[in-house]
């Protein structure tokens, strides 16, 4: 694929204090963009100065939400080089999302080339501080100016990038999670397994309710019986019960997280029993009452692993592991971040150098 590069004449000042980056506020100097038109396919791949785009108010994505996205990071190692964590998996998953939403797929090697090219142009934006990274957001949306309901004929694939601070500034602080029993996020046969804006729109009300009760995230139950555990807002979830790792199986309504997959692979390598199966919130509560709920943690690109300190289900509040990070959670965190920042060797074949 040929990619045209147009560099900015007015580069921005890079953030001086990398401890104050936060998440998702600051954008780099450039972005990737490529057009799709029915009959032409994907064409006109280019890296251009970061900036606003012009869209018709009738653009289909604004009305019917035909949109998908991905999220990954570029990490800087101690020797100054830059690397990614399993980026192939992100672009394979993007095509799985694309298929569900009738969005034209992009060959994985083209998407990877776009990623490498745009990060290379803005490589000085990859933070140097330990724990900080360059958050990368690829996305595709339908842009036809048309109010009828049908798949689009015009799409844009874009990649934008945002230097982001360490997720944990003061060690891995456990999060508190609220089990949602009123609303549901996704049902089997729906779009739960895709990364699409609509799933997040469906989650906002519950997220708001949880915040009002001083819980930081929502745990979703299945959309039919509201008995079985699915996942957290933007993380998959794992329970360590009596020494065994248990996580909900993928069955269409749960996002297939790359961190989830990596944790399962590490457990296997370490000889720790890890099972994907249906698990009810009642089973978790029973394990807690029996003193067998050793650890609970979320998994996702943003936080890698996120220990859960409190889980509230109706009137029942479970405090897990004394509201401190558990041993396996810490080991997973140290191993995965160690590989990502090049501090420990990657013996899994997960790291891809820029």
Ligand X SMILES: *Cc1c(COP(=O)(O)O)cnc(C)c1O
Strands (DSSP E) along the chain, which ranges?
4-5, 30-37, 41-49, 67-69, 72-76, 82-85, 133-142, 154-164, 175-179, 217-221, 229-232, 236-241, 244-247, 274-276, 293-300, 304-313, 316-319, 351-353
How far CA 346 is from CA of 213, 264, 351, in Å, comes to: 41, 16, 7
> Quick check: helix, strand or coil at residue 196?
coil
Q: Least distance from C-beta 299 to ligand X, angstroms?
A: 6
Comparing C-alpha atoms, which of 264, 261, 262, 259 is closest to residue 246?
A: 264
Instruction: Say how far apart CA 114 and CA 318 lie, in whole Å.
Output: 45
Instruction: Say how far apart CA 150 and CA 102 lie, in whole Å.
Output: 9
Task: Kindly list the residues in this chain that would bind ligand X in the complex (CB under 6 A).
Answer: 71, 195, 231, 234-236, 255, 257-260, 299-301
Instruction: Say how far apart CA 196 and CA 61 lie, in whole Å.
Output: 11
CB atoms within 10 A of CB 273: 11
Handedness of CA 213, 284, 248, 74 (dihedral sign): positive
Q: Least distance from C-beta 168 to ligand X, angstroms?
A: 16
- Report the residue number, 138 or 257, with the smaller CB distance to ligand X: 257
Q: Which residues pair with 48 in a beta bridge?
A: 31
The separation between CA 252 and the C-alpha centre of its own chain, rounded to angstroms, equals 17
Tokens in use for 271? 């000889």
How far CA 293 is from CA of 244, 275, 277, 321, in Å, comes to: 10, 15, 17, 8
> Quick check: helix, strand or coil at residue 219?
strand
Tokens in use for 297? 């943690």
Comparing C-alpha atoms, which of 159, 140, 136 is closest to residue 151?
A: 140
Instruction: Say how far apart CA 46 and CA 20 lie, in whole Å.
Output: 31
């Amino acid at each position: 694929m040929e990619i045209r590069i147009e560099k900015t004449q007015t580069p921005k000042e890079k953030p001086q204090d990398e401890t104050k980056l936060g998440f998702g506020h600051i954008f780099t100097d450039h972005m990737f963009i490529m057009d799709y038109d029915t009959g032409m396919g994907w064409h006109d791949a280019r890296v251009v100065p970061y900036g606003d785009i012009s869209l018709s108010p009738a653009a289909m994505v604004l009305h019917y939400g035909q949109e998908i996205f991905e999220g990954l990071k570029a990490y800087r190692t101690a020797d100054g080089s830059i690397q990614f964590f399993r980026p192939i998996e992100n672009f394979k998953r993007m095509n799985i999302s694309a298929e569900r939403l009738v969005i034209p797929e992009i060959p994985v090697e083209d998407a990877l080339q776009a990623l490498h090219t745009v990060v290379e142009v803005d490589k000085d934006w990859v933070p140097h501080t330990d724990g900080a990274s360059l958050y990368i957001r690829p996305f595709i949306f339908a842009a036809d100016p048309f109010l009828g309901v049908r798949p689009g004929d015009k799409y844009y694939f874009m990649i934008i990038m945002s230097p982001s601070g360490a997720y944990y500034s003061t060690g891995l602080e456990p999060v508190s999670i609220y089990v949602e029993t009123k609303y549901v996020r996704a049902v089997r046969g729906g779009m739960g397994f895709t990364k699409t804006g609509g799933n997040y729109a469906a989650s906002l009300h519950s997220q708001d309710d949880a915040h009002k009760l001083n819980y930081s995230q929502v745990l979703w139950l299945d959309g039919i019986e509201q008995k079985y555990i699915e996942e957290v807002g933007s993380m998959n979830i794992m329970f360590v019960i009596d020494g065994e790792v248990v996580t909900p199986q993928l069955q269409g309504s749960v996002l297939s997280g790359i961190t989830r997959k990596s944790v399962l692979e590490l457990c296997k390598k370490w000889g720790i029993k890890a099972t994907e199966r249906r698990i009810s919130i009642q089973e978790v509560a029973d394990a807690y009452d029996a003193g067998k709920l050793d650890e609970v943690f979320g998994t996702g690109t943003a936080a890698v692993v996120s220990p859960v300190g409190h889980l509230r289900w109706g009137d029942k509040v479970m405090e897990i592991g004394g509201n401190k990070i558990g041993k396996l959670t810490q080991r997973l965190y140290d191993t995965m971040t160690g590989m990502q920042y090049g501090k420990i060797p990657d013996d899994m074949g997960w790291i891809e150098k820029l």
